Amino acid sequence: MVDEILQSKNDLKMQIRNLNFYYGTHQVLKNINLNIKSNAITAIIGPSGCGKTTFIRTLNRMNDIILGIKIEGDILFDHKNIYDDDIDVVDIRRKIGMVFQRPNPFPKSIFENIAYGLKINNLTVNKGELRERVEIALRGAALWEEVKDRLNTSALDLSGGQQQRLCIARALAVQPKVILFDEPCSALDPIATAKIEELIQELKEKYTIVIVTHNMQQAARASDFTAFLMLGELVEFDITEKIFTNPSQKITEDYITGRFG
Amino acid sequence: MNKRRFKEKLAYSFLITMISIIVLSICLMFYFIISRGIRVINWEFLTQMPRKAMTAGGIFPAILGTFYLTMGAICFALPLGVSAAIYLNEYAVQNRLVRIIRISINNLAGVPSVVFGLFGLAIFVKFLNFGVSILSGSLTLGILILPTIIRASEEALSAVPNSFREASLALGATKWQTIQKIVLPNSFSGILTGAILSIGRAAGETAPILFTAVTFYSMRLPKSIFSEVMTLPYHIYALMTEGTHPESQVPIAYGTALVLVFLVLGLNLIAVILRNQFRRSKKW
Ligand SMILES: Nc1ncnc2c1ncn2[C@@H]1O[C@H](COP(=O)(O)OP(=O)(O)O)[C@@H](O)[C@H]1O
Ligand SMILES: [Mg+2]
């Protein structure tokens, strides 16, 4: 079923093929094959330690900074392998943004947090444009109204949920095509979580989203496709509705119904 | 009173005694230096040249010489040390070579300072032909404080949370941009604190400059980086060991010691204040 939906190549933002990943000799991802559709939300679920973080970090080559890793297989982004030798990693990371598990704003002002990515990538020509782009990013992350009067105060004074939305705004500012979320709400209260979920729904209009979550409700509510990982293997990948109503694997059902995990 | 309580009291009294001994020694030392040195301290003492074969006049050239040497040392050691720290902490793969480099740096910190003096004499004074000069002395002192600066800088760099680096890289920053714009600004205070403490250390050293920079007595202020200089610690040594008028020289030596001690304490105080300020403002 999912194969039919994901068969039109033009719709695929990323394709993961035969992906193996090792920390030293410890294999963490085992022959993963997965397609990620444009302007859709793909959720990655699975018990903790199954390799979700590792997986999502292979998508923007964030694992490159860890020593002693080995990676096999292809990850195509717009039909080009991001692990090819002629690929500029820095450019890939700009196009494939990332929001981390814990909000990690820079110890700078709210404005500077957003402006940072624009400056280092030389994306703006003058002050006026910079200001404009910062505002657009903050609006995009539904944060503008809350912070517009205190753009020059420290980002660290914001609440956890606001900080996480700031991190989303920061990622939006550099105009990525894909945004990766690694359990973005795990450090947040339910209200802040709801806001972020709502935001992610809006973002899918413009961006391709991959989100790791260990919250079943979140995956069920908020995603179009769901991949279930277990011990580094992709057990099942399908449209979310199917996974949560009629999974093809017994073990998937056991997991989503909370029988383990 | 039971035995347990008695032991408790005994241990407590013992520790109080030990602390008192330490505090007393420090007070005694200060009292000693201040009481003997304060008499000669006045504006003239700080701003005038020595006169009458150092039995009168001021110590201005020694203050200036110490200032030149420490500034020279820090100008040389800070860029070198910070660069080394950045390499070791941000770029180096933790292999055997890097471990050897680290061990060497730590060992450098344990080398007696007179050995640095000999090294400076052989390399800077003789081989590079800088002569006994501010330049040779600064370079020698620079090497002496290099391990402190590297270690303090490395500590400051590694205190910057990795999540900042990751956030920056994930936005498409290069490694160097990340270091320049995120890591260094957030470790600046730590590096500065290390640098100030090093200046204090360098200001008080005698042995490394003994053969490389100092002169016993100078009629004029140094004219260039190739001039010899008088310095505070060596001035004390000279006053106590040379000359024929101890009755007028010894008070000057104590006065000089007082100036030196307050200089070093002042620097340490600045470093401590900076560090506390930094700790308070830091929220991560
Ligand atoms: N930097 C690392 N070095 C070595 N092993 C790691 C590292 N990061 C994660 N692992 C291991 O890889 C496995 C998967 O971890 P992770 O991808 O973080 O799982 P998840 O995000 O699903 O909880 C775990 O067994 C973990 O111990
Ligand atoms: Mg994880």
- CATH number, domain with residue B185: 1.10.3720.10
Q: What's the CA dihedral at A37, A41, A45, A49 to 10 degrees? A: 80
Backbone angles phi, psi at A70, to 5 degrees: -135, 140
State the best of A90, A101, A122 to mutate against chain B, taking most chain B CBs within 10 Å.
A90
Residues spanned by the domain of B161:
61-280
Residue B16 inside a domain? The answer is: no
Assigned domain for B18 exists:
no
Q: What pLDDT, in 10s, does the model give residues A87-128?
A: 999 999 999 999 999 999 999 999 999 999 999 999 888 999
pLDDT of residue B247: 81
Report chain A's mean pLDDT, rounded to a whole number. Answer: 93
Give the three-state DSSP class for A81.
strand
Examine residue B139 and state whether it is found in any structural domain, yes or no.
yes
Nearest-angstrom CA–CA distance, A114 and A133: 9
Q: What is the mean pLDDT of residues B63-92?
A: 94
Sorted by where each starts, the structural domains of chain A and their CATH numbers stand as: 2-256 (3.40.50.300)
Query: What ligand has the least distance to the C-alpha of A47?
Result: 1
Interface residues of chain B, partner chain A, Cβ below 8 Å: 93-94, 161, 163-174, 177, 181-182, 186, 282-284
Confirm whether B10 is domain-assigned: no
Tens digits of residue pLDDT in B131-176: 999 999 999 999 999 999 999 999 999 999 999 999 999 999 999 9
Nearest 10 degrees: Cα torsion A252, A255, A258, A260: 140
pLDDT of residue B243: 76
**Secondary structure of A159-208 in HEC code, one letter for each residue:** CHHHHHHHHHHHHHHCCCCEEEEECCCCCCCHHHHHHHHHHHHHHCCCCE
**In this predicted model, what pLDDT tens digit does every residue of B1-41 receive, in sequence order?**
688 999 999 999 999 999 999 999 999 999 999 998 898 88
The residue in chain A having the minimum alpha-carbon distance to the alpha carbon of residue B161 is A104
For residue B234, being part of any structural domain is answered with yes
In a domain, B265, yes or no: yes
- The answer as to whether B39 is a domain residue is no
Q: Output the residue whose Cα is nearest ligand 1's atom 5.
A: A23
- Ligand 1 site residues (CB inside 6 A) read A 23, 28, 46, 48-54, 66
Residue A196 reports pLDDT greater than 80: yes
Terminal C-alpha separation, chain A: 26
**Any idea what the Cα angle at residue B256 is, between residues B252 and B261, rounded to 5°?**
145
H or E element that contains B30: helix B3-37
Chain B CB within 8 Å of residue A24 CB = no
Q: Which of B206, B213, B208 is nearest to B136 (CA)?
A: B213
pLDDT at position A4 = 67
Write out chain B residues lying below 8 Å of A94, CB-based. Answer: 171-172
What's the domain count of chain B? 1
What is the tens place of the pLDDT at every residue in A1-47?
677 666 666 789 999 999 999 999 999 999 999 999 999 999 999 99
Name the pairing type of β-strands A80-81 and A69-77.
antiparallel
* For range A61-69, the mean pLDDT: 92
Chain centre to alpha carbon of residue B268 = 9
Joined together, the tokens standing for residue B162 give 């990795």
A163 CB neighbours in chain B (<8 A) are none
pTM value is: 0.88
- What is the per-residue pLDDT for A1? 60
Q: What is the ipTM of this complex?
A: 0.93
Distance A214 CA to ligand 2 centre (A): 9
